[in-house]
Structure 1
Amino acid sequence: MLAIDQPFHADSQQAVDLVPSRYALRIGEIDAMVISDGVLPLPTATMATNADPADLANWLDHMFMPPDAFDWPLNVMVARSAKQTILIDAGLGGQFSGFPRAGQFPQRLASAGIPLESVTDVIITHMHMDHVGGLLVPGVKERLRKDVRIHVNATEVAFWTSPDFSRTVMPKPVPAVLRSTATSFYSEYRDRLHVFDDTKEVAPGVVVRHTGGHTPGHSVVDLISGGERLTFAGDAMFPVGFDHPEWHNGFEHDPEKSARVRIGLFRELAENRGLLVAAHLPFPSVGRVAVDGDVFRWVPVIWDY
């Protein structure tokens, strides 16, 4: 049963967002919360680089989306298991100036009543700027515990020493910022990194596992407790992927493998009936996946107040 979980208290003294920016739920004995880092505008061409432009245009029109640009949702998660508080990804931070609707994670974490000082572990699904940039915001590192454990896949760390963008289709300024952000993240936090190869149980019922595809070390996080489960899928899927899982996203470093990973996760979620949250599905992105012929269907949960 989904419920607003009482251990996560909002500070009534904080400014109130005009729209909801956090959604709490419980997975068995694990408390979880999805937090919106805001939205980032991107050109629609990045959404399906191998699709016929007319097909993409038709899909956008069908979804009542504008033809040239779209708002890219940014979601992070927090989970509490036993005595650990785990942050899953950290949002954009200030890596791109001029986008005031993105990079909201630090203040929204605070308004949810979750001090940075309480975070014992951070799981990074991959080292793109919109997943590690929030850790580079001034004042964040200083407030994190000295013994905070930052979990990231070993292949991911190795990849960003000399990243390959040859198969991506990104706006021209993006690769340089991705590279510099990953370098800054590693430089700032290398002494706190806990690298893993295939899977790692970070806390009771909180397991990170390597998928590859989107980046070579891309990983997803499973919350499993009391017969319930939720998968935070990072960048393994995007809104268009349910109707067209074979379409490639411009930010994927290995597009073909990304499609295989996406389809595999969709089938897994349809079979186990677990909840799905992803970094770039519309907030709060909590829902389930159903198989519908040759495509998949996104079934959002009904919000529980």
Structure 2
Amino acid sequence: MNTRNTEIGAVDELVPSRYALQVGDIDVMVISDGVLPITASTLATNAEPDDLRAWLDDNFLPRGVLDWPLNVAVVRSGGKTILIDSGLGKEFPDFARAGRLAMRLIAAGIAPSTVTDVVLTHLHMDHIGGLLVDGLRDRLRPDLRVHLSAAEAGFWESPDFSRTVMPDPIPEVLRRTAAQFLDVYRAQLRPFESEYEVAPGVLVRRTGGHTPGHSIVRIESGGQALTFAGDALFQPAFDNPGWQNGFEHDPLEAARVRVRLLDELAASGEQLVATHLPFPSVCRVAQADNGFRFVPAMWDC
């Protein structure tokens, strides 16, 4: 991480880590939790090796291990401050460039005690870990409401990894982190079945696929809309929506969810943010000959 000292005890980052935008009357801020190293092969476990190498080369990405962006969002609507996902936390202390949410919330002027609600797209460790970190967890309000699908909470009582393709240590870490999270936050959980309006214009909807209870968040106000897609979409999805990610618990259903979502966004022209697209990941989706096209938004500086 590039930083410089500004005064004793203060750090000024020399990298962009937050991006604010308006969706009608709703304030949205995308915050980077950092980057997570991941083997490139995990991005497309069913792709031909030569096809994956060609895609990586075309996108100037390394063939071995690449940096996977980690994006979360803070939404303000109807007097509520809503955190969507919470990044990796400190489960892997060797990953020094991830787990930066607590610091960056403060830097963005967002006191953790002002967060009224959390929406979790799913319970993978890189989406819930931040809520388990001292310095964030101990600053949250006691009446915090945590929204996730009932199917997601149920799945992690006895998770099935039989269709995933992950390095050996990962499934056990995922299982342990989800169990810890459910134990810590069970009294604050507000499970929903298919969809739930968290605040005016902020609707969380279960999609399934990536995990049985995976959900997306659609923000709509004043004729504008933005979807936070969580892990429904990854960077290769635009060119190759049928490629399967190693973390998907139901790869075939995840691909169907992905294509439906891309079709919807291409038809509507609405904005998109996703966890693992390059920061700040604000973009639109366009149709292309053999798939879709990632159209980055112009930064409003």
TM over 0.5: yes
Alpha-carbon displacement from aligned partner over 1:2-21 (angstroms, at most 9, x marks no partner): xxxxxxxxxxx952211100
Report if aligned partners of 1:167, 1:252 keep a CA contact under 8 Å in 2.
yes
Identify unmatched segments of 5+ residues in structure 1. Answer: 1-12
Q: Which amino acid aligns with 2:100?
A: Q
**Alignment counterpart, residue 35 of structure 2, candidates 23, 33, 39:** 39
Report if aligned partners of 2:102, 2:135 keep a CA contact under 8 Å in 1.
no
Report if aligned partners of 1:219, 1:234 keep a CA contact under 8 Å in 2.
yes
State percent identity of aligned pairs.
60
The answer to whether residue 280 in structure 2 is matched with residue 284 in structure 1 is: yes
RMSD: 0.9
1:262-301, aligned counterparts within 5 Å? 262-301=258-297
The answer to whether residue 45 in structure 2 is matched with residue 52 in structure 1 is: no
Report if aligned partners of 1:278, 1:285 keep a CA contact under 8 Å in 2.
yes
The answer to whether residue 161 in structure 2 is matched with residue 165 in structure 1 is: yes
1:25 — aligned with what? 21
Task: State the alpha-carbon separation in 1 of the partners of residues 66 and 164 from structure 2.
Answer: 19
**Alignment counterpart, residue 246 of structure 2, candidates 243, 250, 259:** 250
Report if aligned partners of 2:44, 2:244 keep a CA contact under 8 Å in 1.
yes
Report if aligned partners of 1:14, 1:111 keep a CA contact under 8 Å in 2.
no
Task: State the alpha-carbon separation in 1 of the partners of residues 193 and 11 from structure 2.
Answer: 41
**Alignment counterpart, residue 155 of structure 1, candidates 145, 151, 157:** 151
Task: State the alpha-carbon separation in 2 of the partners of residues 45 and 271 from structure 1.
Answer: 31
1:41 deviates by 0.5
Task: State the alpha-carbon separation in 2 of the partners of residues 287 and 60 from structure 1.
Answer: 20
1:1-305, aligned counterparts within 5 Å? 15-305=11-301
Identify unmatched segments of 5+ residues in structure 2. Answer: 1-8
1:139 deviates by 3.3
Alpha-carbon displacement from aligned partner over 1:66-96 (angstroms, at most 9, x marks no partner): 1111101000000000210000000000111
What SS is found at the alignment partner of 1:15?
strand
Q: How many residues are matched?
A: 293
Task: State the alpha-carbon separation in 1 of the partners of residues 101 and 24 from structure 2.
Answer: 26
What SS is found at the alignment partner of 2:11?
coil
Task: State the alpha-carbon separation in 2 of the partners of residues 106 and 140 from structure 1.
Answer: 6
1:230 deviates by 0.2
Task: State the alpha-carbon separation in 1 of the partners of residues 146 and 11 from structure 2.
Answer: 30
Q: Which amino acid aligns with 1:128?
A: H
Task: State the alpha-carbon separation in 2 of the partners of residues 145 and 166 from structure 1.
Answer: 38
Q: Which amino acid aligns with 1:189?
A: Y
What SS is found at the alignment partner of 1:133?
helix
Task: State the alpha-carbon separation in 1 of the partners of residues 285 and 12 from structure 2.
Answer: 32
Give structure 1 regions of 4+ aligned residues with deviation exceeding 3 angstroms.
none
